[in-house]
Structure 1
Amino acid sequence: MKTMFKAALLAGAAWGVAATGAMAQDQASTTSNPAAVDEVVVTARRREESLKDVPVAVSAFSAENPGRQGASDITVLQQTTPNITVQVARGSNSTLISYIRGIGQQDPLWGYEPGVGLYIDDVYVHRPQGAVLDVFDIERIEVLRGPQGTLYGRNTIGGAIKYVTKKLDDEAHGKIKGTYGSYNQTDLLVSGSTPVGGGLSVGGAYAIYKRDGFGSNLTTGAEHYNKDVQAIRLSAEYAPTEDLFFRLAYDKVQDDSNPRHGHRELPALVGGYKVLDTYDTQAGLGDSNSVETEGVSLTGSWNATENLTLKSITASRKGHTTTIIDFDGTPLPTLDIPATYDDRSFSQELQAVYSDENVQGVFGLYYMNSQASGEFDTIAGNLGLSIADGGKVRTQSFAVFVDASANMTDRLKVSVGARATRDHKRSNTFRLFYLGATRSPYQGGTPRPIFATRTNYGAEKTFSEFTPRLSVSYDLNDDLTTYASYSKGFKSGGWDMRGDAAITPQTINGYRPEVVNAYEVGLKGYALDRRLSFASAAFVSKYEDQQVSTQVVVPSGIASSIDNAGSSTLWGVEFESQARMTANLTGTVALGYIHAEYDTFSRFVPAGAPNPLNPSQTIPAGGQIVNVANLYGFQNTPEWTGNVSLTWTGDLAGGTVAVTPMVSYRAAYQQFEQPLPLLDQDAFTLVDLTASWTAPNSNYKLSLTGKNLTDETYRTGGYNFGVATYNNSVIGFYGPPRTVSASLEVKF
């Protein structure tokens, strides 16, 4: 009751602000007010619209927002957007973990689909490796909360993150930005573009991010939690007429940072290894890590008539990862994981976008052909084994979608959308035991015969779903819009790449698709003579056949399963606002509340494992399905999230100074579905501050950025193997400590 009361207060506050604005203004908006906040234009529905008119919960950030927040990559969205998690995965600098409203994907293993879709210029990024996108040369970033299946290619059951890069300018220009900061942070960004003639322009950007480690590997002497990333983007744009536009773009990210082995949360039972400083490790597996991703896309659009635009998006992406994580954090080969991942994809999307005074909409066809594969060893020293898990998943996806809005009256609009998706998947999976606690032959180890074949099968299935969407919006006046919507989200099924058929025989049958039915009401617009813009939403989601990845320690190793755990109900409220308090002072507020609870959670527990409902008992032969809904909770889903920032601008030495303090809050949350007090994160607050001075001609800019100024220590991930077999290995991964940096930007 207490949390429901708090949520009701939050929703009431949002609607109260809107009601005040509605009573204060029944006439046309005062767009000429010099103190008005800027209007935000988004392409959430594949066409340009004012954020106020979109019946979807959307957070939009222009190019200057991340700069004011001192952001270097998209993980800053976690601090600024309600009810989302966007962070670096355990063990790397560039693998992405993302959740929106409790729905996402923590496991970056190949073949397991994400629950939040990531898009670069409308191109779907189908794997999380290399997906922690650096923020440079962007036009804006949009976060769409709730299922977006009628408009976006795949796996937007939780929502979508759109990364929109800048189009090239009509005039030649360039920029150089250098940054130096704590832990010997040394960043360099060089970008520029120029028209060539005849409607052709070319441009490019190169960025390098280097930083010493926050800690050290005390066994090898290498940096731990360091950064060594390079990124490049090249593009060519051709507009031979006003109605034709083509863009060829290429991007590549190379991450050679050392692997993150994590932090041992408990002393080792063997070897006397103690708990070290937060960012230190004693891992003995080594320090070799490489993540490489690249993509090329060709976008073409033709204004066929005044009202109709035809568009084509063709894209190809690929990636390769070689990495290691020492899960026991000691020189002993107790639980060492060397791994290799490969992926590639081709996609083609065709769109017809129509717009007139009364009807707007898009019709599209989508095709994707992808392959994700990999192999990793589990070197279990105390068992004298090396367990090789590997396989490949090929996916062909076809979809047809439509989304249209009609003006029923001057104020009433109805929007209807639908998508028919067909995913055809083929999988090959193996799990092999080799004697000897060294790398298997798959990871370059000594060639030797297979000791035991635990899993070896091929499978093929087709997953199809129809996902509709319906919304109704009403303009209370020229500045306020309220809406109600229903949407269905879908994520296809698959097979567990870690599955051990000897322990969990049902693994060869795979897992089913999951779906969510989401209901949302919202109110957004302007108030107080357009000095205040805001967006509020309340939602309820019914989540069915939820896919949950679980790993359990058993006598013969580690048993993995991906189960359709059951059903859950998620509901919550969100409020975002930007206000111009004076000509020199603006502020933003973002608040989110979510109540996420399992209705049923049916988990298969293998033979020999403890019974979750009675740990003193073990599961009998054949395994058993147990309903653990009362024991489990949602991972990476804090009940409350919040952010407050202020920006003060003024004149100094003929230029403009801007100072932005920002405070963000995240309530306590679990790392996994099962509560783990040693790993679960308590509530924490981050305090950041950015100050900049821009020269009168805007050609020079000096900036000073402080992140996590209170030096908060907080976990972003972990692993739980706290048993004697694995030397009491409970491992945590942590966010950055306090850092300070200074940068100089020169435009020419």
Structure 2
Amino acid sequence: MTKRLTGDTEFRIRGAIGSYNQRDIVLSGQTGLTDTAAIGFAVASYQRDGYGENLLTGADNYNKDILSGRVSLELNPTDTLWIRVAADSTKDDSNARFGFLMEDAPTGSETSPGSVYDHESNMPSDNSVETSGVSLTAEWQLSENLTVKSITASRSGETETNIDFDSISRPDFDVPAYYEDDQFTQEFQLSWSGEKSNLVSGIYYYEGTAKGSFDAVLGMYGITQNVSGSVDTESIAVYANYELALTDALNLTLGGRYTVDEKSADVFKGNYLGLYSPEFADRYDGEPAVATPYAILTDYSNSDEWGQFSPKVGFNYQLDEDTMVYASYSSGFKSGGFDMRGDASVMPETEDGYDPETADTYELGVKAELFNNRIRLNAAAFHTNYDDMQVTVQTFSEATQNFSSAVINAGKSEIQGLELEMMASITDRLTSNIVLGYTDTDYLEVIDGGVDVSDQWGAFQYSPAKTALGQLSYNIDAFEGSLVLNGSVSYRSEMQIYAAPSQLDVGSVTLFDAGVTYFSGDDKWQLSLQGKNLTDEEYRNAGYTAFGWITGYYGAPRTVALTGSYNF
């Protein structure tokens, strides 16, 4: 939650210029309207040219064009009542990102461009993401120990985008898409604090609609597959979290949440002759598809309801003034639903939807401050079991000679690992921070067509086994202020993009950052020069593979930025 306004008149300007014509500016401030009312605001613009381009049109790729704003009004009618009304809006007109053709085109003579940020897509670079929301928060302190809070919020979003799986100048596998969502939430929270115990409880309500549509334009076959639908969700949950000091050193935490989700879905999937379905034909040049699909693969309406209790229990014990150990167990779940991309002609069970996925997590840890608080150490070991895991399986249809995918409850898996964080004041001026992580993931069971294929699946998607971060910071008194030198190195081991191994899997990545920041003695302004990915490492973060096309998406190259801020 954003910190409360003070009512003081303040204004701050921040800006940045940098590589690839980066131009950022942020204006923020607040002022008191009366003794019991204050208003605050922030407006931000983030602009940057692309790291690459469309070699055919010159349009930027990986650029940034974002404008956002926020305003809030806070009232304190009495000493015990606080109210905030807030609104925000963000408009992201950054170009759609197109992938790098990693292998020669399977349907033509196209080869990989010279830069991993370049492409030759025939699709427009137009892309629009708009989000906005309003909220009302009220907090009433009924007594010294009892507080009631209400949070009412509404949000909406619209997206129009283009995805080109082939990234060449033909519509061999193009995906124009749009998405819309609206949601309303209401939460009532009751907080109580006693001499040796605390309780936070409440009720949470969610109502939302998500809908969208996209074409899979397979120009190499002269057909288009349209997938569209909407999902209405209504969810209500009650929760409580109780903390009790059993002794001066031993504390107990008990918690629980009961959630009921109800979802209803309308899903359509059909094949059209020609390029683009009638829904998208007007947006793109080319031969429009005929108005009627020649094959309806999925067309249904259905609804379902799920209820789930998620408990939590934990202990922490203060071994001495500087060391605490803790243990906890918690259960969680991912809601069930309906697969908007399911092909009922191949897998009729997709119309029944899929059930929630559950997870049980156990954690042991220690927090310590050593050597007169010069070293702060946090270490934890965890183990999570997943059941009724929601997995996407691929099925081949002899009738249509096509692959189709479906989300089903077909899996069991486990994840376990270690996390270590150490912050150290090496000297009064030199500090360091080290974060290490190890994660071991394993699919225990994945049922596809009645067969366990878990041995064919590798690690979890986007879950590197090893991660590390090392940071150093050195403070120097200079120019009637302070100069801070910083450097960091981050490491990520091999990573799998899909659930099963593929050509998109990436190797380890090591990145180096460094910079210097000046803070004025009166705390009014600062100036910073920062460089990221200083060795200009080329690394892939994501990608697609389908019908022989393999395209990748890459992290930012070396960048340098000069940023500054001034407090009026």
Pairwise TM-score range, normalised by the shorter structure: over 0.9
Cα deviation, residue 536, structure 1: 1.2
2:30 paired residue number: 193
- Kindly report which structure 2 residues correspond to 1:154-303, keeping only aligned pairs within 5 A, or say none: 165-276=2-113, 277-303=115-141
Q: Is the 8 A contact 1:388 1:442 kept in 2?
A: no
Matched position secondary structure for 1:574: strand
Counterpart residue identity of residue 302, structure 2: A
Q: Which has the larger radius of gyration?
A: 2
Q: In structure 2, do the counterparts of structure 1 residues 313 and 270 end up closer, same or farther at CA, with 3 Å as the change threshold?
A: same
2:210 is aligned to: 372
Q: Report Cα offsets for 1:255-310 as digits up to 9, x if no partner.
A: 10111111111011333111111000000011110001111111111111111111
Q: Which amino acid in structure 1 is aligned with residue 93 of structure 2?
A: D
Counterpart of 1:665 in structure 2 is 491
Q: CA deviation at 1:556?
A: 4.9
What is aligned with 1:730? 550
Aligned to 1:529: 372
What letter matches 1:184 in structure 2? N
Q: Quote the Cα distance in structure 2 between the aligned partners of 1:535 and 1:249.
A: 36
Alignment of 1:397-408 (within 5 A): 397-408=235-246
Quote the Cα distance in structure 1 between the aligned partners of 2:94 and 2:395.
Answer: 30
Whichever structure has more strand as a proportion of its residues is 2
Q: Do the aligned residues in 1 keep the contact of 2:176 with 2:280 (CA within 8 Å)?
A: no
Find the counterpart in structure 1 of residue 436 from structure 2: 591
Pick the aligned partner of 1:698 from 512, 523, 530.
Answer: 523
Are the structure 2 counterparts of residues 660 and 378 from structure 1 closer, same or farther at C-alpha, using a change threshold of 3 Å? same
> How far 1:249 moved relative to its partner?
1.5
Which aligned segments of 4 or more residues in structure 1 are displaced greater than 4 angstroms?
550-558
Distance verdict in 2 for CA 1:407–1:305, change over 3 Å: same
Q: Equivalent residue of 1:565, what SS?
A: strand
Partner of 2:505: 680
Query: For residues 377 and 365 of structure 1, what CA distance do their matches in structure 2 show?
Result: 40
Cα deviation, residue 481, structure 1? 1.2
Tell whether 2:345 aligns with 1:498: no
Tell me, yes or no, if the aligned pair for 1:421 and 1:466 is still in contact at 8 Å.
yes
Q: Does 1:347 align with 2:172?
A: no
Q: Could you tell me which residue of structure 2 aligns to residue 652 of structure 1?
A: 478
**1:2-48: CA deviations, max 9, x gaps?**
xxxxxxxxxxxxxxxxxxxxxxxxxxxxxxxxxxxxxxxxxxxxxxx
Q: In structure 2, which of residues 256, 260, 267 is the aligned counterpart of residue 418 of structure 1?
A: 256
What is aligned with 1:388?
Answer: 226
Counterpart secondary structure, 1:698 = coil
Any conservation in 2 of the 1:339–1:443 contact (CA below 8 Å)?
Answer: no
In structure 2, relative to structure 1, the CA distance for the partners of 1:550 and 1:686 (3 Å cut) is farther
- Matched residues in 2 for 1:598 and 1:557: separation? 27
1:580 equivalenced with 2:425 (yes/no): yes
Measured after TM superposition, the shift of residue 242 of structure 1 is 2.9
2:429 and 2:483 map into 1 onto residues whose CA distance is 10
1:269 and 1:467 map into 2 onto residues whose CA distance is 49
> Match of 1:629?
454
Deviation of 1:450 after TM superposition, in Å, equals: 2.0
Q: Which of 307, 312, 319 is residue 157 of structure 2 equivalent to?
A: 319
In the alignment, structure 1 residue 547 sits paired with structure 2 residue 373: no
* Aligned with 1:429 (options 263, 267, 279): 267
Partner of 1:568: 413
User: In the alignment, is residue 472 of structure 1 matched against residue 472 of structure 2?
Assistant: no
* Distance change >3 Å, CA 552–CA 576, structure 1 → 2: farther
Distance change (3 Å), C-alpha of 1:228 and 1:556? farther
SS at match of 1:232: strand
Deviation, 1:177, is 1.1
Distance 1:550 1:315 in 2: 37
Pairs aligned (count): 559
Residue type matched to 1:581 in 2? I
Question: How well do the aligned residues superpose, as a CA RMSD in angstroms?
Answer: 1.5
CA shift at 1:550, angstroms?
4.6
Structure with higher RCO (Cα < 8 A, 6+ apart): 1
Distance 1:557 1:193 in 2: 59
Distance 1:269 1:575 in 2: 46
| Per-residue deviation, 1:584 | 1.2
- Between the aligned partners of 1:449 and 1:470, the Cα distance in structure 2 is 57
Deviation, structure 1 residue 241: 2.9
Asked whether the equivalents of residues 220 and 286 of structure 1 are also in contact (C-alpha less than 8 Å), the reply is no
Provide the C-alpha distance between the structure 2 equivalents of 1:713 and 1:625, rounded to a whole number of angstroms.
41
Aligned to 1:508: 351
Query: Greater helix percent: which structure?
Result: 1
Query: Match for residue 335 of structure 1?
Result: 173
Q: Does the 8 A contact of 1:202 with 1:236 survive in 2? A: yes
Change (3 A) 1:551 1:711: farther
Q: Distance in 2 between matches of 1:170 and 1:650?
A: 34
Letter of the structure 1 residue corresponding to residue 109 of structure 2: G
The CA distance in 2 between the partners of 1:219 and 1:327, in whole Å, is 17
Match status 1:712 vs 2:543: no
Map of 1:87 onto structure 2 = none
Please give the alpha-carbon distance, in whole angstroms, between the structure 2 residues aligned to 1:661 and 1:552: 49
Asked whether the 8 Å contact 2:364–2:382 carries over to 1, the reply is: yes
1:237 and 1:390 mapped to 2: Cα distance?
42
| 1:454 corresponds to which of 275, 292, 297 | 297
1:125-140 alignment runs, 5 A limit: none
Quote the residue 1:742 is aligned against. Answer: 562
Identity %: 40
**Using the alignment, how far apart are the partners of 1:443 and 1:512 within structure 2?**
36
Per the TM alignment, residue 357 of structure 1 is displaced from its structure 2 partner at its CA by 2.1
Distance 1:443 1:231, change over 3 A: farther
Which amino acid is the alignment partner of residue 744 of structure 1?
G
Which SS does the other structure have where 1:512 is aligned? coil
Other structure's SS at 1:240 match: strand
Provide the rounded CA distance (Å) in 2 between the counterparts of 1:290 and 1:354.
45
CA distance in 2 between partners of 1:588 and 1:565 (Å): 41
Q: Which amino acid aligns with 2:453?
A: V
CA distance in 2, matches of 1:284, 1:301: 54
**Displacement of 1:198:** 2.7
Instruction: After TM superposition, give the deviation of residue 680 of structure 1 in Å.
Output: 0.7
Q: Please report how far the alpha carbon of residue 553 of structure 1 lies from its aligned counterpart in structure 2 after TM superposition.
A: 7.6
Q: 3-state DSSP class of the match of 1:274? A: coil
Q: Are residues 497 and 385 of structure 1, via their aligned partners in 2, closer, same or farther at CA, if it must alter by over 3 Å?
A: same
Q: Deviations over 1:406-432 (max 9, x none)?
A: 111111111110111000110000001
Offset of residue 439 of structure 1: 4.3
Residue 199 of structure 1 and its aligned partner are, at CA, apart by 1.4
